[in-house]
Amino acid sequence: GAVVSQHPSWVICKSGTSVKIECRSLDFQATTMFWYRQFPKQSLMLMATSNEGSKATYEQGVEKDKFLINHASLTLSTLTVTSAHPEDSSFYICSASQGVSQPQHFGDGTRLSIL
Amino acid sequence: GQNIDQPTEMTATEGAIVQINCTYQTSGFNGLFWYQQHAGEAPTFLSYNVLDGLEEKGRFSSFLSRSKGYSYLLLKELQMKDSASYLCAVRGNQAGTALIFGKGTTLSVSS
């Protein structure tokens, strides 16, 4: 079945640091990947849609200059949290699907803690 | 606007059957999904409905009525490991677009 890999699983860093999270589709090509954020005891909130070879589409309220998305190949999308602050601490999850009518499969998520 | 409603919490005992309801109001519909999420982990896919009716998959079944904007997830022969959050999600107008998630239903299974 479809497998989506996300790395790293955990990040703990100082305020002001930039953090890069990778999302890979391991056995299929994904022209579109999605980035979500989940705060404790809340549901997943879509941050942006990552499009291979073009600019990402950001949801309202998500700062594109703070959350940089690069989708340089059909199997890799990266999310960089620039100059991270404690309020950016959250669980970041990516997803992708094998086809436009197929279910989305999620990576294992990245727990980001900014001190 | 977009709105997906499901109960916040449910409890049940081992071996029982539980039904988790989901109602939705979205600006388009291209499929309804159920995911299971254990605490601290990413969601895992359970089921997918795009046409009206019941989809059965082992102990889990999911039902959809598009005219009513309603779905349910049915879990049979409950096990302790089924204690988790169950997320209802709808895909909007176009295939290939992102999912809109409900807030999730936390199911606690006791012995």
**Optimal mutation site among A7, A23, A31, A43, interface B, most CBs of chain B within 10 A:** A43
Mean pLDDT, residues B6-24 taken together: 97
Closest Cβ opposite residue B33 in set A93, A103, A107: A103
Question: Do the Cβ atoms of A103 and B45 come within 8 Å?
Answer: yes
Residues in chain A within 8 Å Cβ distance of B95: 100-101
Q: pLDDT tens across A46-69, in order?
A: 999 998 888 899 999 999 999 999
Q: Mean pLDDT, to the nearest integer, of B50-62?
A: 95
pLDDT at A1: 58
A46–chain B Cβ distance below 8 A for any pair: yes
Give residue B17's pLDDT: 97
Tokens standing for B101?
């998630």
Contacts of A61 (CB under 8 A, 6+ apart): none
Q: Under a CB-based contact definition with an 8 Å cutoff, are residues B87 and B38 in contact? A: no
Window 65-104 of B, Cβ < 8 Å to A: 87, 95-104
Q: Which residues of B touch A101 (CB under 8 A)?
A: 30-31, 50, 95
The mean per-residue pLDDT over the stretch B5-19 comes to 97
pLDDT surpasses 70 at A89: yes
Does residue A101 carry a pLDDT above 80?
no
Residue B64 pLDDT exceeds 60? yes
pLDDT at A40: 87
- Residue A74, sorted as left (phi over 0), alpha (psi -120 to 50) or beta, turns out to be alpha
Task: Answer with the residue of higher pLDDT: B46 or A3.
Answer: B46
Model confidence band, residue B93 (pLDDT cutoffs 50, 70, 90): low
How many H-runs (helices) and E-runs (strands) does chain A carry?
0, 11
The answer for residues whose C-beta is within 8 angstroms of residue B91's C-beta and 6 or more apart is B29, B30, B31, B32, B33, B97, B98, B99, B100
On the question of pLDDT at B48 being above 60, the answer is yes
Min Cα–Cα distance to chain B from A73, Å: 18
The overall average pLDDT reported for chain A is 91
